[in-house]
Structures are given as structure tokens and as C-alpha cells.
A = this chain, B = another copy of it.
Amino acid sequence: MRYVLLVAYDGTDYGGWQIQSNTVTVQEKLTKALKETLGADVCVTASGRTDSGVHAAAQVCHFDAETTVPPERFADALNFRLPADISVLKSSAAPDGFDAVRSAKKKTYCYRLYLSRRRNPLKDRYSAWIKYNIDLQKLKKAAEMFNGEHDFKAYCAAGSQVKTTVREIYSIGVYIGESRGSTDVEISVCGNGFLYNMVRTLVGTMLYYAAGRLTEEDVLRSLEECDRSAVGKTMPANGLTLENVDYGVELF
């Protein structure tokens, strides 16, 4: 029997999703809670890894188990054993043939930043501080350049092993607000999949363009010729949150 979980976590104190020997990870905490709940070793698979320090508002995971525990009861049973920075929001029985990785149709990440002369400790946990001036209209224009299918090789951290670096971006929304004396920006990116560090490098490139440090030609060259010298710097992990994984079906 396969179960599916909707999980939220504050990634600040974790070395990302995937179990590693040298750091504490979300998968490790969830695996431990499942073992305590079920009394057996269980492998829990997420829609995809999140990097060290990245947050998730709605990560989706599956695991297989033989148990009489009603599916919707897993959420409370696991939360009882999980630390405060990880919470299972919902649990249910997975649809036939469901796989958290392979069945995913779309993912949405949101990158948050705030523009301010000085650091704001009430914003730092979930958004990146931008001290320099940027042109917000150019930031919106930059978003358009990434729409559609591109080879994102220049946006992928070196050493990553993937079959193809081609990904399709369905939409990028740039939302601008004001709070507590600074300008807040949310960059919401929806696509069919993302490479390691891709969203953070994409946002860094949008910012370089909006600050006049890269031209439109640079950005186009980064996509058409995979020129790594034409991309901006990779933005810090704390501004990034996995917001949604869409499977084309109602899971919960």
C-alpha cells in the first residue's frame, strides 16, 4: 500500500531534503518518525530534492507500508514525532500507480527578496536582502525571456549528473509590494522541472539584468549558447521556497 504526504518545512537548519552522512536532513527526520510510527524501516521519496537551506510549503512524498493505520491518521502520528520545523499537513492513500517523482507534472518555486538600505531581521529568514538598486520594470521584463523551453545548462551547478538540461518554464510571475519600509519582491517560477541551483541562478541573472550588469543579449546568449559567463550569481538558499507540486489529480 502506497501513502502520500504533504509536508512543510523550514529549511534553515537542514542540509536539504536528501539523507547525507555529514548533515541533518529532512528526509532523515521523516524516515525516523515513520520508523517510530510503523516499527519498520521505510523509504520515503519526495517529488525532488530541495537544497540545503531551501524551504518547502508543500513538498509531496510517498512511502510504501503494510499497516492498519488509516491513511489520514499519518499526519498527526508523524507530527507527534517530528521536530517543530517539519510538519505533515496532510496524508492520504496514493492513487494507483502514483510516484512522487515520476507523476509530477509541474512544480512551482517562489524566490523572495527585499530591497532595502539596511538588513531587516524580520525578513531575513525567508527572503534575500538586496542592497543595491534595481529597475523593477526590467525585472518584470527579464521574467519574459525565460518563458518556454530552453537548455538551462548554464544555470545548472557544475558536476550535476542529469540526462538532459532542457526544461520548460510555463510562467514566471514577479509580484511587488511594500512593507515595513522596504520593497518586497516575489518571483514565482512554474515549470516541468528544475535543475540543481537553477531557480537561484535564474533569479540572480534576472537581478543582474535589472541592475544593468547583464544585457538582454547576455541573457539570450546564456540560454541559446549555454554561456556560463552570461549568468548572474546564484542567490542564497533562504529566499527559496518550494510552493507547489502539481500531479494533475487531487491527492488529499
A residues apposed to B, CB below 8 Å: 8-10, 55, 57-58, 75-76, 79, 84-90, 118-122, 124-126, 180-181, 241
The 10 closest A-B pairs by CB, nearest first: A10-B121, A85-B121, A87-B119, A57-B180, A87-B121, A89-B118, A8-B120, A8-B121, A57-B122, A9-B121
Q: Are B181 and A122 in contact (CB under 8 A)?
A: no
Interface pair B58/A180, CB less than 8 Å apart: yes
Residues in B with CB closer than 8 Å to A126 are 122
In the complex, the answer to whether B87 meets A55 with C-beta atoms within 8 Å is no
Out of B58, B75, B76, B84, which one reaches A121, CB within 8 Å? B84
A-B contact pairs, 28 of them (CB 8 A): A8-B120, A8-B121, A8-B122, A8-B180, A9-B121, A9-B122, A10-B121, A10-B122, A10-B125, A55-B122, A57-B122, A58-B180, A76-B118, A79-B118, A79-B119, A84-B119, A84-B121, A84-B124, A85-B121, A86-B121, A87-B118, A87-B119, A87-B120, A87-B121, A89-B118, A89-B120, A89-B181, A125-B125
